[in-house]
Structure 1
Amino acid sequence: MTNITTQHPFGNEITLDILLNDFQKSKAWEEKYRQLIQLSRKLPALPNELKTSEKEIKGCENKVWLGVELNSDGKYHVYGDSDGRIVKGLLTIILTAVENKTAQEIADIDMLAIFEQLGLANQISQSRTDGVNAIIARLKSLTSQY
């Protein structure tokens, strides 16, 4: 059962198809940057009690927290937060792709291909790319533990 304090619209009301459609309309990097910031505003802040060192991801430029809950149907609710707007926007894309998926479905997702389709792969800095990779690795590790 999804925890009320970690609910978000990503993967439910906001789907990958919606994101792909929205990002493909944006040609300039500045427009994509604005979209990331708008997405970050739609991700509710995690309560401080969930911003623990166990949930914090190392290797990110900004602070990032990531957690998972296994639902009774074997699918995951994935939640997170970041103190950086762009990183938080990138996190929302990851949440959109993995929300309500099984561990195997999450393991099979090629997040870098999704960022490529959105036109973001070549636009984000190497340190942010490293951070995205750290988030994805942590997510796959967390969901493979169950």
Structure 2
Amino acid sequence: MSSPADSELKKRKPRNVPKPYPRTKPKKTENAPKTSAQTRTSGHQNLTQNNWLGVISWHDEHTRKQINTVQHFAGLPNPLLFDQASLSHHLTLEWQEKHLKIANSIPNGLSSKRELIVMRPDVDKALYLWVRHMEDE
């Protein structure tokens, strides 16, 4: 049998316990200190193979500082948004060869954003033939 003391020990904690800290973001104030962090206004952008080839060739012709290349393309009327780390990654010889391979291997390779890997060549060939048939009609 349970005693009244046991029932007091089994009581639940009250659910309206105050939180140890506020869970809301602080509001922006106009007197906030300046920061050197750069924010992107339009979010993430994946560049096409043609864009990357243009960025790489411009970088090779005009400057050796990667941040200057990033700032140049961000300041264009139609900006290409990427950061210095992405540029450094794509400037490697391996990536330059990959961009050229993709651009030259398929008809719309310059406008693609990544390499298309075909798992079933027979399905790919059937789709190609179907598209050609539909275009002829």
TM-score interval w.r.t. the shorter chain? under 0.3
| TM-score with structure 1 setting the length | 0.23
Who wins on radius of gyration, i.e. which is larger? 2
Higher strand share: 1
User: Higher relative CO (CA 8 A, sep ≥ 6), structure 1 or 2?
Assistant: 1
| TM-score with structure 2 setting the length | 0.24
